[in-house]
């Protein structure tokens, strides 16, 4: 083993740890990984930066722009309205229409975008039919992930694997090459969720026992004003827990001293108190004008009691991720007051205005009804309470759909390569004003694009250092040359396990070079290994770390191990379908 191999292993392990603990955003970790490869001399800068101009990165950029055009012109919302009209009062039909539609849409746009649009609709329809939203949200999110293998553009992971195939002198994946295995996976997955999976989803007990009233615990920060009736009284005297059903987490004095709350702790004007409670109890404080909410505190503000409330989810790719409410100047920028925050079932023990926002955070907002309705059109949020968002301007929706369909057709019959096709489609979308460049650039998930472009350098590094060859030799030696199916299974589970702490694309980039080399060593079909890795890397069901799952985590009142409980058997079923069909469709 050479020094460069050792350095590369250290860099990969460090990246895995950082991906796991989520100390930094994934795209920042990927950028740091690429720079480490350059600074250690493993890759020259020109080779490391080549990923930004590669067919793979340009292909993904074009797909993101076309997807943004579909969303911007209201294609998904139009379909949502059609679904609402067809559901009626049939609960069984609701399951199949929601999951089936989410799966079909997610076959052509990212599962994150599909889940973002189906989440509020699923909640609204579930409450209307008196179904606990938790029974529908997880199946909907899983349906968007299950569709990842139906088409090449269903997920950028497929595009990354396709791009890596070309680096080994092999043809890229066809638009519908994976459909023969992707459709059975989608069908088997949905059948499992209907007959078994949804029955394993727990319903968290709430005080109301009313499935229409989903109660989540929000963190909120309140300030004791000089005229507050609480000033000068202890927590026991005001009955914070007994009367208002709120739990005090921490008290910040005006002097900057943190105080652990006790029943005898006296509240003084200027004290800021971190409290935890549900939406109804928090609003009791607002209605009685007992304290001031300080999510982004403005001492001159006088928020009217008649303003509307909204529960919203922070979406992936939002510029708010990693920022604080204070740093964003949230109240002035959006004209809304943050009353509370819920994060994946966790209790946050820090000031709400200084809490860095994360994907899937659920915010309780108050503000002008028109401003709240406008949140549905903002890429940073998805409204999940109240009425369904109004439809955007859909005049150019047929044109956007025709452009997307035309690209798919031209690529499918090999008139254009996927890279040329999607970039041409993006150009036509700009020219026809289906979406302006400014709007597209705001909606494109640049973090995901940067992550993929940077991670491509890792695949190249594993190849040039010989680490991929070394690992392939070790795996082959361990498993043996007479067990190709076992070898294929190993790479499925390796990519599936790696995709839990890190992104799907990053997992595919790490595993694919090793698999390609192992296939070459044994004179096996490398395409079968690439397909198996693409399926495994998109198999994110046993943890809620997939963005589509993060979006339903809070609204579904789930816990971390709920996904393991429901997703473990689903993962085994998908593996069973894949290990039967992949060697049959792409003979080893």
DSSP 50: G
- For residues 579 and 485, the answer to whether their CB atoms sit within 8 Å is yes
- Give the pLDDT of residue 108: 87
Cα dihedral 170/185/83/110 (nearest 10): -40
- Give the pLDDT of residue 497: 87
- For residues 154 and 148, the answer to whether their CB atoms sit within 8 Å is yes
- Give the pLDDT of residue 213: 40
What is the phi-psi region of residue 310: left when phi exceeds 0, alpha when psi lies from -120 to 50, beta otherwise?
beta
CA atoms within 13 A on the CB side of 400: 24
Q: Which two tokens stand for residue 214?
A: 């989903």
Alpha-carbon gap, residue 351 to 223, rounded angstroms:
11
- Give the pLDDT of residue 141: 93
Share of the chain residues as helix, strand and coil, in percent rounded to the nearest 5: 60, 10, 35
Domains and CATH numbers, the chain: 3-29+36-43+455-564+574-585 (no CATH), 59-205+396-443 (no CATH), 218-383 (3.30.70.1450)
User: Between β-strands 308-314 and 381-383, what pairing exists: parallel, antiparallel or unpaired?
Assistant: antiparallel
- For residues 42 and 4, the answer to whether their CB atoms sit within 8 Å is yes
Q: Report pTM.
A: 0.72
Q: What is the 3-state secondary structure (H, E, C) of 232-250?
A: CCEHHHHCCCCCCCCEEEE
Helix (H, G, I), strand (E, B) or coil at 503: coil
Residue 365: strand pairing partners:
310, 338
pLDDT by residue for the chain (588 residues), tens only, comes to 789 999 999 998 898 888 777 677 778 888 999 999 999 999 999 999 998 988 888 888 888 888 888 877 877 667 766 766 666 667 788 899 899 989 998 998 878 778 877 887 787 778 777 888 889 999 999 999 999 999 998 998 999 899 889 888 899 999 999 999 999 999 999 999 999 999 999 886 544 434 334 445 666 778 888 888 888 888 888 887 777 767 787 788 887 788 878 888 888 888 888 887 766 677 677 667 778 777 543 433 443 344 566 778 887 667 777 788 878 877 777 777 777 787 765 555 566 677 888 777 888 777 777 777 666 666 567 776 644 344 456 788 889 889 988 998 998 888 888 889 999 999 999 999 988 898 888 777 787 788 888 888 888 898 888 888 888 888 878 887 678 899 999 999 998 988 886 778 888 888 898 899 889 888 899 999 999 999 999 988 988 878 788 778 777 878 878 999 999 999 999 999 999 999 999 998
Helix (H, G, I), strand (E, B) or coil at 252: strand
CA angle 531, 536, 538 (to 5 degrees): 100
Q: What is the 3-state secondary structure (H, E, C) of 366-398?
A: EECHHHHHHHCCCCCEEECCCCCCCCCCCCCHH
């Amino acid at each position: 083993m050479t020094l460069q191999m050792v350095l590369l292993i250290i860099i990969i392990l460090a990246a895995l740890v950082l991906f796991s603990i989520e100390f930094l955003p994934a795209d920042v970790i990927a950028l740091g990984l690429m720079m480490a490869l350059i600074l250690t001399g493993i890759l020259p800068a020109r080779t490391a930066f080549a990923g930004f101009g590669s067919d793979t990165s340009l292909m993904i950029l074009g797909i993101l722009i076309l997807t943004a055009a579909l969303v911007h012109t209201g294609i998904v919302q139009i379909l949502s309205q059609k679904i609402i009209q067809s559901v009626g009062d049939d609960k069984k039909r609701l399951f199949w229409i929601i999951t089936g539609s989410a799966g079909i849409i997610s076959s052509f746009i990212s599962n994150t975008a599909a889940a973002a649009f189906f989440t509020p609709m699923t909640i609204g329809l579930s409450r209307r039919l008196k179904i606990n939203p938790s029974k529908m949200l997880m199946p909907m999110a899983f349906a968007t992930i299950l569709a990842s293998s139906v088409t090449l553009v269903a997920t950028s992971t497929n595009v990354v694997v396709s791009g890596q195939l070309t680096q080994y002198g092999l043809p890229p994946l066809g638009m519908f090459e994976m459909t023969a295995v992707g459709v059975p996976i989608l069908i088997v997955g949905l059948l499992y969720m209907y007959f078994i999976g949804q029955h394993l989803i727990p319903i968290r007990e709430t005080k109301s026992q009313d499935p229409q009233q989903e109660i989540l615990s929000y963190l909120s920060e309140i300030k004791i004003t000089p005229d507050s009736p609480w000033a000068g009284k202890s927590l026991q005297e005001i009955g914070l827990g007994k009367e208002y059903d709120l739990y005090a987490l921490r008290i910040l004095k005006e002097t900057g001293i943190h105080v652990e709350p006790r029943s005898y702790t006296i509240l003084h004007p200027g004290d800021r108190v971190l409290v935890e409670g549900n939406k109804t109890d928090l609003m009791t404080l607002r209605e009685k004008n007992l304290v001031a909410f300080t999510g982004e505190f403005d001492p001159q503000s006088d928020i009217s009691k008649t303003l509307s409330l909204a529960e919203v989810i922070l979406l992936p790719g939002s510029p708010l991720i990693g920022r604080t409410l204070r740093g964003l100047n949230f109240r002035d920028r959006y004209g809304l007051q943050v009353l509370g925050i819920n994060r994946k079932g966790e209790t946050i023990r820090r000031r709400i205005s200084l809490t860095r926002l994360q994907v899937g955070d659920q915010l309780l907002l108050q503000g002008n009804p028109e401003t709240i309705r406008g949140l549905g059109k903002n890429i940073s949020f998805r409204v999940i309470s109240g009425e369904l968002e109004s439809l955007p301007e859909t005049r150019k929706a047929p044109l956007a759909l025709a452009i997307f369909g035309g690209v798919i057709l031209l690529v499918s019959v090999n008139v254009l390569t996927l890279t040329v096709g999607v970039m041409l489609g993006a150009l036509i979308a700009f020219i026809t004003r289906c979406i302006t460049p400014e709007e597209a650039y705001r909606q494109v998930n640049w973090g995901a694009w940067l992550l993929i472009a940077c991670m491509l350098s890792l695949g190249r590094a594993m190849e040039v250092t010989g680490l991929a060859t070394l690992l392939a030799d070790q795996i082959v030696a361990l498993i043996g040359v007479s067990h190709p199916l076992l070898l294929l299974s190993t790479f499925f589970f390796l990519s599936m396990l790696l995709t839990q702490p890190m992104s799907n694309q990053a997992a595919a980039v790490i595993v694919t070079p090793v698999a390609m080399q192992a296939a070459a060593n044994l004179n096996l079909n490398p395409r079968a290994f690439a397909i198996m890795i693409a399926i495994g890397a998109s198999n994110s069901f046993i943890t809620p770390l997939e963005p589509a799952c993060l979006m339903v985590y809070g609204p579904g009142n789930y816990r971390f191990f709920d996904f393991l409980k429901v997703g473990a058997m689903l993962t085994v079923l998908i593996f069973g379908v894949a290990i039967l069909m992949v060697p049959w469709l792409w003979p080893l």
